[in-house]
A and B are shown apart, each in its own frame.
Chain A
Amino acid sequence: MIARAGGVAPPEVVASGFGWTYAGRPSPALSGLTFRLPPGSVLLVLGPSGSGKSTLARALAGIVPHALRGRWEGRLAVGAQEVPNTAPARLGERVGIVFQDPESQLVMPRVEDELAFGLENRGWSRSVMLDTVPRALRQVGLSGFEPRLTQALSGGEQQRLAIADVLAPLPGCIVLDEPTANLDPPGMAAVFEVLRALAAERRHTIVIVEHRVEAALPLADLVLILDEAGRQIAFGPPAEVGPRHAATLERSGGWVPGAWLGGATDGHGWSAGRSRVAGGGRPAGGRLPQHPVVEARGVVVRNPAETPGSWRTALDGVGLRLEPGERVALVGPNGSGKSTLLSVLAGLRRPDSGAVRVGGGRAEPATDPSRLRSDHLADLIGLLFQDPELGFVAPTVGREAVARAARRRGRQGISPTAVLARFGLAGSDDRNPYQLSQGEQRRLSLAAYALDPPAILLLDEPTFGLDRLGAERVLGLLDEASGGGQAQLLASHDPRLLPACDRVVALESGRVVFDGAVAEFLAAPPYRPAEPWRSGVAVTGAEMPGSSRAVL
């Protein structure tokens, strides 16, 4: 097969009455989609969680209907290729898709082999591949990364590599399904910089599904708004569609660009008013005992480094106090030690030096959590994993929700019905937790701590992948628990959460670089975002989207 070195003209994408119902589901995931994307245009798909945004992305790539079962309706075509009649491999030559999780879409151990993999599969000649690999890396700002190990890259670098993977075979149409959902702000900024350059080139028809609406909106020529049932609310240029349909989108629970709501955009890229997560309606903890429930002093944790016998310091003398009823945001760039600190506070790791003491519930104050018996630890501390799936311990949603309380009180007399209803999971009792959507999984992992809430709740990125309604729901549930005296520590990249916290602790390179009020933190962030472009590319820090605001 002859390699096409010149590139392919971007295709037109047309939908007409398009709909899809997954096998075994009573209602369609998508219905009545009718739109036309001119070649080289950029479409942003907006809608709440469960509105079928990912289903549309999958359909454009042919995963729906070719790899998943269900009922197809209407018409969806990329260029001259009707999706249902085109083999996925053929469609794959025109459409490249990038998913949320960078780790699970990379295949090969090294960067250059990763890029070459897709070209080899298409039978490209070796000489063309030798030209294409560095070109595709340059396009995403990863020049010189050829020999690096893909696992050793940061999330943002991995995601840019995944974009290079789909760009290299010159597909003409690119679909991105929440490409920055799992990234820290520097990683996110770098990915958006790549997307901005791609959009300006006009050499690809681009479809973006993205929760970071403020950053994505300026790239879009067209927006498609879906409601919670997967029906098309509106399609058209943002300036036309936005003001008219923002209220509907907001009501349905999706993130709404601040500009559409008429509010001024604050320094953090989010409108000062309504696009921020609502929250903070909890009672002040005046009557609560004022002794710390968590106290860490001089905590040092070292991890084995790549060269045998050497060590990398993950936490370097960290001190932290949490009072009952207090909610503290734990911020810092990737690799600054946030997750390590959570695992130390949760008693999953013993620090190499320093001390951690927890108190409350049945445990004596001044207890080392790493020495607590598992059941006593569970009474005292909860930890929500960044990936909720890894935290599940029961085979059904109902049993997962009551597993913790049932251990304490016995299974009799505990019904999950009320808890599940409160967490928007009514009727899901017998479903497998793995089958839930990301937002539902997040709520289930919170529901598991709702009965007999622990005195201390640690959360790792609690709003990852959630729409506005989902994030507000999570905060509402947290409000309830902190009203009861629960101390909460939220490790998060999401600046939208900060206003709902009492205090900010910022980590950088394993040290606490800030511990104080939210307003003070926002006024003068104590550290700069990590430089996302490591090697020589034509983009400077000054041109980074919000290099001053992407600090969390």
Chain B
Amino acid sequence: MSFFPAPLTARPGALLDRVAPVTRLVAGSAWLVGAVATTDVGVGLRLCLAALVALPLAAGIPWRSVPRRMAPIVIGAAGLALVAAFGSELNRDPATPALLDLGAVRLTAPGLAAGLGLGLRLVAIALTSLLVFGGLDTTRLADSLVQQWRLPDRFAFGTIAALRLAPLIAADWTAVGAARRLRGLEPRWLPGRVVAAIGRLFTLLVAAIRRAERAALAMDARGFDSGTARSRYRLVSVGPLDGVVIAGAVGSAVALVLVGR
């Protein structure tokens, strides 16, 4: 019934666990730049493989928790890769031999490579995000955003509150649907269902706003943002290891992009 998979449990003491959360963001963005800036199949494939190796080694996330989270993205990426492969301009070049020729539809090796490259890079981006955010304690992230990057408390802690509410709102969505079915308001045909889904979304919006209001009230009742300078219960520090991780991420990104050129 749950929208969201249970939170990832990462091995405590993993390398990325010992650096500041903002370091994870910087290190991950180096790989993301690599994935976005190239079109090569080889780069996409190497980034995917590197991320798969890094997941258990650096982030302490076991491989067995990867498939369930990646499945929807892999399916989506495969679809996009197909569309991109068949729709590629490269297929139009009559000089390239066709792998598949149905008259209107023609697929060539460079077109296929372009599609695969896109799909693999999408998967690489998703795997990198899993590497950065999987097993990341949101409270530590907020503390790090405030302490290292000087982001406003209201932004950082508002985000935590929103993340905490997400599963509750997902449960509300289920409940709102159940209420409509039990009152005989679940339409039988597709057009009615579309209209009903809009109504259901509206009800959910109202419920979400009420939850958010209550959360804001709860934070205010605890003296949040009342003018007093906040102190810190958790200290997040940046040390030499953070530098090593960032250097390693940038270096590996450059190497993965350039190797074989």
Which A residues lie at the B interface, using CB under 8 A? 1, 61, 63, 67, 88-89, 92-93, 97, 101, 103-110, 112-113, 116-126, 129-130, 133, 149, 151, 165, 169, 303-309, 343, 346-349, 373-379, 381-383, 385, 387, 389-393, 403-404, 407-408, 434, 448
CB of B104 closer than 8 Å to a CB of A: no
Q: CA separation between A101 and B179, bound complex, in Å?
A: 21
Q: Are A122 and B183 closer than 8 Å at their CB atoms?
A: no
Q: Which of B2, B6, B168 has its CB near the most chain A CB atoms (within 10 A)?
A: B6
A126 touches B206 (CB 8 A): no
User: Can you list 28 A-B pairs with a CB-CB distance of less than 8 A?
Assistant: A63-B217, A104-B211, A105-B214, A107-B164, A108-B160, A112-B233, A120-B233, A123-B228, A123-B229, A126-B231, A126-B232, A126-B233, A133-B233, A149-B7, A304-B6, A307-B6, A343-B178, A374-B187, A377-B181, A383-B178, A383-B182, A385-B179, A387-B175, A389-B210, A391-B182, A393-B183, A393-B185, A393-B203
The docked-state distance in angstroms from the alpha carbon of A307 to that of B6 is 7
Say yes or no: A88 contacts B220, CB within 8 Å.
yes
Residues of A within 8 A of B187 (CB): 374
Contact call B184/A117, Cβ cutoff below 8 A: no
Q: Does B188 contact A (CB under 8 A)?
A: yes
Knowing that A117-B224, A382-B182 are A-B contacts, what are 9 other residue pairs whose CB atoms are under 8 Å apart, sorted by A's residue number?
A93-B223, A113-B233, A116-B234, A129-B233, A133-B233, A308-B64, A374-B186, A381-B182, A404-B184
The distance in angstroms between the C-alpha atoms of A92 and B223, with both chains bound, is 7
Central interface residue in B137, B176, B178, B206, by most chain A CB within 10 Å: B178
B178 touches A378 (CB 8 A): no
Given the complex of chains A and B, what is the CA–CA distance between A117 and B9 in angstroms?
24
State the CA gap A469–B37 with chains docked (Å).
69
Report if A122-B223 is in contact (Cβ < 8 Å); known contacts: A104-B218, A403-B183: yes
Q: Which residues of B contact A379 (CB under 8 A)?
A: 184
Evaluate contact between B183 and A404: CB separation under 8 angstroms: yes
Residues of B within 8 A of A (CB-CB), count: 59
Query: Is the beta-carbon distance between A377 and B222 smaller than 8 angstroms?
Result: no
Nearest chain B residue, comparing its CB with the CB of A124: B231
Which residues from B are CB-within-8-Å of A149? 7
Bound-state Cα–Cα, A74 to B219, Å = 29
B15 interface residue, CB < 8 Å from A?
no
- Given the complex of chains A and B, what is the CA–CA distance between A120 and B96 in angstroms? 66
Q: Chain A nearest CB: distance from B171 CB in Å?
A: 9
Complex: A306 Cα to B227 Cα, angstroms: 40
Report whether B221 and A92 are in contact in the complex, using a CB–CB cutoff of 8 Å: yes
Please report the number of residue pairs spanning A and B whose Cβ atoms sit closer than 8 angstroms.
Answer: 173
With a 10 A CB-CB cut-off, give which of A1, A133, A375 has the most chain B CB atoms.
Answer: A375
- Closest chain-B Cβ to A185's Cβ sits at a distance in Å of 24
- The distance from the CB of A174 to the nearest CB of chain B, in whole angstroms, is 13
Q: What per-residue 1/0 map shows which CB atoms of B199-212 lie under 8 Å from chain A? A: 00001001100110
Question: B179, A67: Cβ atoms under 8 Å?
Answer: no
* A107-B215 Cα distance, complex, nearest whole Å: 7
Docked complex Cα distance between A101 and B1 (Å):
23
Would you call B231 and A119 a contact (CB within 8 A)?
yes
Residue of A nearest to B200 (CB): A393
Q: Is the CB of A390 within 8 A of B184?
A: no
Determine whether B261 belongs to the interface, using a CB cutoff of 8 Å to chain A: no
Cβ of B237 under 8 Å from chain A: no
- Please, how many angstroms separate the alpha-carbon atoms of A112 and B233 in the complex? 9
Closest chain A residue to B228 by CB distance? A123
Question: Contacts A119-B233, A346-B182: A113 and B139 contacting too (C-beta < 8 A)?
Answer: yes
| Least CB distance, A347 to chain B, in whole angstroms | 8
Q: Are A165 and B183 in contact (CB under 8 A)?
A: no
Q: Is A120 touching B5 in the complex (CB atoms < 8 A)? A: no
User: Which residues of A lie under 8 Å from residue B214 when comparing CB positions?
Assistant: 101, 104-105
Interface positions of B from 9 to 60, Cβ below 8 Å from A: 9
- A-contact 0/1 string along B220-248, CB 8 Å cutoff: 11111111111111110000000000000
- Compute how far the CA of A108 lies from the CA of B153 in the bound complex, rounded to whole angstroms: 14
Known A104-B215, A121-B223, A404-B183; judge A308-B230 contact (CB<8 A): no
Determine whether the beta carbon of B233 is less than 8 Å from that of A377. Answer: no
With known contacts A123-B228, A126-B235, A374-B186, A117–B222 Cβ distance under 8 A: yes
Most buried by B among A97, A109, A125: A109
Which B residues touch A408, using CB under 8 A? Answer: 184
Residue B68, interface by CB 8 Å: yes
Residue of B nearest to A115 (CB): B233
- CB neighbours (8 Å) of B220 from chain A are 67, 88
B74 interface residue, CB < 8 Å from A? no
- Asked if B222 and A109 make an inter-chain contact with CB atoms under 8 angstroms apart, the answer reads no
B1 — which chain A residues lie within 8 A by C-beta?
303, 349
Q: How far is the CA of A387 from the CA of B160 in the complex (A)?
A: 25
User: Contact between B175 and A385 (Cβ–Cβ < 8 Å)?
Assistant: yes
Given known contacts A89-B223, A308-B65, A122 and B179 CB-to-CB distance under 8 angstroms = no
Given contacts A109-B138, A390-B172, contact A89 B179 (CB under 8 A): no
